[in-house]
Amino acid sequence: MTSQVRVRFAPSPTGYLHIGGLRTALYNYLYARQQGGKFILRIEDTDQSRFVEGAMENLVENLEWAGIEIDEGVTLKDGQITQVGDRGPYIQSQRLDIYKKYVDQLLDSGHAYYCFCSKDRLDKLREEQKIKGQVPRYDGLCRNIPREEAEKRIAAGEDYVIRLKLPIDEDITFHDEVRGDITINSNESDDQVLVKSDGFPTYHLAVVVDDHLMGVTHIVRGEEWLSSTPKHLILYRALGWDIPTYVHLPGVLNEDHKKLSKRQGDVSVEDFRGHGYLAKGLVNYLALVGWSPDSNQEIFDMDSLIEAFSFDRVAKTGGVFDKKKLDWVNAHHIKDLSLEDLAQLSLPYMEEAGLLKEEEAKAHWDKYLVLMKTIQDGLSRLEEIPGQVAFLFEEPSLDKEAKEVLENPCLPQIIEALRKVLEPMEELSLEEAGGLMKKVQKESGCKGKNLYMPARVALTGQVHGPELSNILYLLGKDKILSRLDQVEENLK
């Protein structure tokens, strides 16, 4: 019987969720769901100096926003961090006793040793190696200190770390689901520190112990960990544990094919949320950065991703994060929103732009839904909404192109006709607005481009834009008339 798939996302709580991290979490999640397995969230906080208050909450919240459900590990309940599952704790700083047990085992079996080298000595060593053009690495000075002597030095109060005793000059081969067989010689690695002088384990020790004890079957993570894998394998061997399946994912790159980094702009999931990318849009696009389906389908929801995903179609080389493509994908998902959902999502943007408060929108909700319908198909991001609806709230300002349109000799007739047909009307219903331009055509004798272009520019100041009948309805009789007056005034 094959065992149940168990995967984990294991971020360090350093402040925000990078979109590369979200993609790693997503691939783990897709695989877990597809295989009927479990998705675990473990927090790797052994580097206490990098800990950021609130980072854990932020991580979980962003994963949940993206639609990634945590089966086991760290999660949120009523806004508070909580842990679920019977293989916890899932926060590494709460597992120190567990690591100690395995470190003792490694020391006893001779796979680890105490090291007393001072920072000064290590710095000097590194300098000398650099001058000689060598790769800086620990020279193994403390490798052969007898255990008894080491323990005496510790009892006497000397500072120490515990290092992994790597085999010398051994080819370590492992299989990676994306890259195939990989061989790295042990001499390319260092005698890795497993326990730091503050008594905390390093990532390398903790990750192996936790993945084993938490029953992780597939380690799906960024390729920056590929070169560490031999050290991890040595640890698995030393502890007598089965080796999980490795899946190293290519990086997420910027358009210059460099690692996407904070210095060049948006990288955190929150940045993208703020711009008004939908969770569905971001998840859909991220899935395609570094993976491709075996069809040319590009629009996916979570369920269809779960169905289509496979490691053997993950790329070996980094995927470029293309914002234009992201916009295009996101636009699809915005088009798929119900008007009600779009309207709800738009409210914070409207409020922030100072255009409309929630209560005001709610007071004319049906009309507000028409406004949403009017702009929906032209949106790539929710942050564009205020700009798209500004025609309704702000008096039109005319650019050069708009002014040229207004030079159309039909304009005076159109203005006159609009006034005339509006005169007997009370307030415009959507249906009446729909029939209005036909009447204006009859009345003015202008049609086609000569009718619609000047009318649109006169009313909105924009040369292109949404359906004119919707604009008429949304503006309403009074605003239409006052804008006509305004145009006449401007053209005098």
- Cβ-based nearer residue to ligand GLU, 44 or 176: 44
Q: Decide if 403 is catalytic.
A: no
Could you give the angle at which helices 468-491 and 430-444 cross, rounded to 10 degrees?
50
Minimum distance from residue 190 beta carbon to ligand GLU (Å): 18
Q: Crossing angle, helix 411-422 and helix 430-444, to 10 degrees?
A: 130
Nearer to ligand GLU, 40 or 411 (CB): 40
The residues of the shown chain that bind ligand GLU, judged by CB under 6 A, are 10-12, 44, 203, 207, 221, 225
Task: Dig out the tokens for 49 from the structure.
Answer: 């100096």
Closer residue to ligand GLU in complex, CB, 12/189: 12
Residue 10 CA to residue 219 CA, distance in Å, equals: 10
* Residue 261 Cβ vs ligand GLU, minimum distance, rounded to whole Å: 15
Nearer to ligand GLU, 200 or 203 (CB): 203
Q: Are 160 and 116 spatial neighbours (Cβ–Cβ below 8 Å)?
A: yes
Q: Which of 262, 316, 357, 449 is catalytic?
A: 262
Least distance in Å: CB of 41 to ligand GLU? Answer: 11
Q: Which residues contact 380 (CB under 8 A, 6 or more apart)?
A: 327, 328, 330, 331, 334
The nearest distance, CB 144 to ligand GLU, in angstroms, is 31
Q: Which of 414, 394, 337 is nearest to 369 (CA)?
A: 337
CB closer to ligand GLU out of 88 and 274: 88
Nearest approach, Cβ of residue 461 and ligand GLU (Å): 50
Q: Which residue is nearest to ligand GLU (CB)?
A: 221
How far is 221 from 246, CA to CA, in rounded Å? Answer: 8
Q: Which residues are catalytic?
A: 262
